[in-house]
Amino acid sequence: MAIASLIIGVISIIAMLIAFLPFLGFLHWFVVPLSVIGFFLGLTARSHNRTSTIAIFGMVFCGIALILGTIKLAGFADILV
């Protein structure tokens, strides 16, 4: 589950960066739920294995994508640009 969280986190970060391009902002609607799933996968993997740094990195990547995607979807794009 830790590796899945890391892969989802990297995909979320890449998709979030692509979504900042003009006419591709709809990708934030996919990034936010995907990063929530990845965050909970990392949280579950972390609870089973306390020394899993892969799960920590996955949760960090998913958390960054979740926070920035939520800010963008909430309409506070002025903060990010």
Domain that holds residue 12: 2-80
Residue 58 has pLDDT above 90, yes or no: yes
How open is the CA angle 45-18-81, to the nearest 5 degrees? Answer: 105
Instruction: Say which residue, 72 or 34, is predicted with more confidence.
Output: 34
Q: For residue 11, what pLDDT band results from cuts at 50, 70 and 90?
A: very high
Cα–Cα distances (Å) from 44 to 14, 22, 28, in that order, read: 23, 36, 24
Residue 49 has pLDDT above 90, yes or no: no
Count how many domains the chain has.
Answer: 1
pTM (predicted TM-score): 0.85
